[in-house]
Each structure stands twice: as C-alpha cells, then as structure tokens.
Amino acid sequence: MRYTTLGRTGITVSRIALGTMMLGAWGNKDHDDAVRLVHTALDAGVNLIDTADMYSAGESEQIVGKALKGRRDDVVLATKVHFPMGDDPNRRGNSRRWIRRAVEDSLRRLDTDRIDLYQIHRPDPTTDLDETLSVLSDLVREGKVLAVGSSDFPAEQLVESRWIAERRGHVPFHTEQPPYSIFMRGIERGVLPTAERYGVGVLTWSPLASGWLAGRYRRQEPLVLNDFRRDLIAHKFDQTLPGNVRKYEVVEELVKLAEEAGLPLTHLALGFVLAHRAVDSAIIGPRTVEQLTDLLAAADVTLDDAVLDRIDELVPPGTDLNPADADYTPPHLADPALRRRNRG
C-alpha cells in the first residue's frame, strides 16, 4: 500500500481508502461479514475509512464502530453530515442546530470520542456557509472533530469557503470529496485545480462509476441492477439517455486498452484516478471481501502516458460522459425561477 499526506493536514493516509456505503441495508446486510471486510482492508494497509450518517440510516456507522474496536487509533476515520435522518425537517442540512445533534449521533454510532475528518456531504443553499464553518470550527476546538471537509462542492464554493474562513477566523475545509472516474471528469475543469491551488486534500469517490468500470455492464448482456442502483441511482443506467448508451461503447474500448496494458479493467480505472496530481486517495466501495481483494491489488498500479493519452481520446479531459450522472446540481440550474427576471 502507498501513502501520502492528506492535503496540508499533516495526516498520512493510504492512497486507497475504504468507503462503507455498501455495508448495511443498502448492500451487505451480514454484519459479521461486513466487519470481516473492514478488517481485511486494515490488514492490507488501508488506514482511511470513510462513511456517512445517512448510509443505511446510520447502520454503516454502527458496523464501522464494531469493526474498529481495539483498532481505532490505527485508523483515520471520516464521516459526513447533510442528508435527511428522519422526517423532521430540522434533522438534515448544514445548520448549526443540526450539525450539533448529528455529530453526537455519529460519535455514538461509531463508538468513538472523536472523528478524524468530518465532512459536509453536500452544499446547503438554505444555510449561510459562515454558519456551517462556524460550528465546524467549534467542534475542532472542542476536539470532537480533528479536520473538516466538503463533498461535491463546486469550485466557486470552495473558494468562498476559504474567503469566509480567513475573514471570520474559522477553520477552513481541509478536504474535498468529489466523484471522479474515467466517465466523470468534470471536476478536472475547476474543482481539482482549485483544491491544488489552496492545498485542499482530495478524496475521490466512485472510481468504478457505479460498476460500469468493473465491466459489470456490457452491451451483449442484460442490464441487471441491484436494489440500490435501481431505486437510488437509476439515472446512471437509464438507456434513454445518450450518455448512458455511450458508456457501453467506451467500456468496450477500455476493456481492449486494459488488456493491452496487461491489467484488469478495475485496475485501469483506479490507476487513472490516482494518476491525477491533485488526488490524495481514491475511495472504493466494495460489498464483498472478494471485490475488496481485487481492488486492493490495484494499489501499486501506475499508468504510463500512452495509456492516459488513450483514455483522454475516449473521454476528453474535463468532461462527463453522461452529465445526468452529477449527484449535485446547483439550485440556479435546477430551479428555472432563479434564472429568470422577477416579473412580480
């Protein structure tokens, strides 16, 4: 396993991190097997574990807490807050009121006295960013949280967060966690250069593009989706969208490229993500120990320029193969009223 420093935090993390979204009701429901998966990752040298309060409604955090008993000090533990945790409209978002409650809930489920990296899972247009950074700074000063980060924040909000932190005396975001893969390269335009400019650590998620870059979906085979993909991310497989149809074509070309490079497709996909100079760690989200073992074998893969150039030809830098794959759309793009003159 290779290691690097996470941004300017001084924290050393493994270049491959374990994401735990698939541990619990959304994926692996067997807690003992899920704990075994976490232990397999730790034994292989992974020291960064990433979860979130909303993964399987807190169940993922509970599993991680079980798995880290006796090993907590060896792990950089990251979790996130933002998405709804119940029907109460105040049990969500990025307000001081909710974050104060949510961090205590996460600490309890994780069975720990501190969170190494506490991340804001998505932007919240209803909450002033100053409010969010203020409460995060309080948590850092209290020792409940050691570093703070964002996830899926556009470049302009990363810059705004730095501006606010400097002028208000807040702790700035230390990290950003965006989606990044051969199919999702949009962050190369603004997010990655901005993170590099300000020394923000980058943890990327979905390097296999929801299974597309595992070779799981091929044109000659029927499209079979599990409950999670069918119910929560169906737009990434909708065959009425040209970008999803294009995925089949690119997968076939990538399979050929991987064979020429003497690599499994999964290793080509991970190697691509880790090749970017701004990326510190790639988060993988296996459901089984077998999937984990395959991905861990990619830790030492380094792609040469010829392979990277060929990938650039298939999916140009800074582009998303299917724009609908984006997991965060700014309100001014989602709501027509915010783009039109007030006629009242």
Active-site residue set: 55
**Secondary structure letter of residue 176 according to DSSP:** E
Phi first, then psi: give them for residue 251, nearest 5 degrees: -55, -45
Q: Residues 6 or more apart from 176 whose CB is under 8 A from it?
A: 149, 150, 151, 153, 158, 191, 195, 200, 201, 202, 203
Between CA 274 and CA 269 the distance in angstroms is 9
- For 139, half-sphere exposure in the C-beta direction (CA atoms, 13 angstrom radius) is 31
Do 190 and 213 contact (CB within 8 A), yes or no?
no
Element (H, E) at 308: helix 305-314
Do 63 and 53 contact (CB within 8 A), yes or no?
no
Residue 339: what residue type? R
User: Can you list the positions of beta strands (E) in 51-102?
Assistant: 76-81
